[in-house]
Amino acid sequence: MKLVAGNSNRPLAEAIAAYLGIPLGKCQVKRFADMEIFVELQENVRGEDVFILQSTSFPANDHLMEMLILIDALKRSSAKRITAVMPYFGYARQDRRTAGRTPISAKLVANLITEAGADRVLTLDLHAGQIQGFFDIPTDNLFSAPVMVRDIKERMANGDKVVVSPDVGGVVRARALAKRIDAQLAIVDKRRERPGESEVMSIIGDVAGRSCLLVDDIVDSGGTLCNAAEALLEKGATEVYAFITHGVLSGGAVSRIANSKLKELVITDSIMPTEAVKVARNIRVLSIDSLMGEAIARTASESSVSSLFD
């Protein structure tokens, strides 16, 4: 087995390699003067089971192209099997047509990865589970819940807690976490007037006198979380935490969250944290290196991956 990493999240790739006890494969990914991407594998991969570690986070198009070129380089170097390990799958929010004459970009990206030559995909907390069906190759969608549950039990063992879904679409994810920590469930009912903006309307469920844990897969602008935190506190919640898998945190999101009423935002390192995230007073990062590393090890040994979440 060999691990090869692009430039999207080197610290996570190195942590996964350390967990597995193997070095990262020697590979050069650089750019020409016109920003064309060039890849050169600097060790033999013929007949190897190769895992490419690459999140398609900002800049999404550059990181996606890096991965496609890495897949092609490995395929032309006679790798036995190529697995695209994508802790964060970019374009996942474009999983359906929201209006006439719009694309389904998540399906396009799935086609690109398949046609480039990947044999399977390993990813984490897809925005919509049905995206697995966009791929014509085996796809494993891992869940960050075990990592978050362990953190919640270690840091918030006492007190009355309620898990909150920031919208109706995330109820299944929130319910699964609530079941793991034996907590009640609540839902934020919001109306989105336009993309990137949201207005909280009401809270479904009893949150008075309880610690609220907002759970979702992606935090981008942070507007929904900040509005939800205010609404929950107005309904009598004692404090509000947010546990989000992918910290996209674009634009002024970090500043917005730092100045919000959120007690703490907990994200994973599926996307490499920026300096602003690292120094923010109320943002904390959990590592998924052991989760991803164990899934890679089980894939390589043809063992069960789904049993990780039993």
Pairing between β-strand 120-124 and β-strand 161-165 as defined by DSSP bridges: unpaired
- Closest CA relative to residue 218, chosen from 51, 115, 85, 94: 94
Residues in a beta bridge with 3: 24, 51
For the annotated binding site for Mg(2+), the residues are 127, 167
Query: What amino acid occupies position 81?
Result: R
- How many CA atoms does the CB half-sphere of 310 hold within 13 Å? 5
CB 48 within 8 A of CB 1: yes
**CA-CA-CA-CA torsion sign (295, 297, 300, 306):** negative
For the annotated binding site for ATP, the residues are 34-36, 93-94
Pairing between β-strand 2-5 and β-strand 49-53 as defined by DSSP bridges: parallel
Please say if 190 is a catalytic residue.
yes
How far apart CA 247 and CA 125 sit, in angstroms, is: 12
How far apart CA 58 and CA 133 sit, in angstroms, is: 25
CA distance from start to end of the chain = 26
For the annotated binding site, the residues are 34-36, 93-94, 127, 167, 192, 216, 220-224
Q: Which three-class secondary structure string do you get for 68-93?
A: HHHHHHHHHCCCCEEEEEECCCCCCC
Compute, in degrees rounded to 10, the torsion defined by CA atoms 286, 290, 292, 296. Answer: 170
Backbone region of residue 233 per phi and psi (left: phi > 0; alpha: psi in -120 to 50; beta: other values): alpha
Of these residues, 190, 235, 261, 263, which one is catalytic?
A: 190
How far apart CA 283 and CA 260 sit, in angstroms, is: 11
The residues carrying an active-site annotation are 190
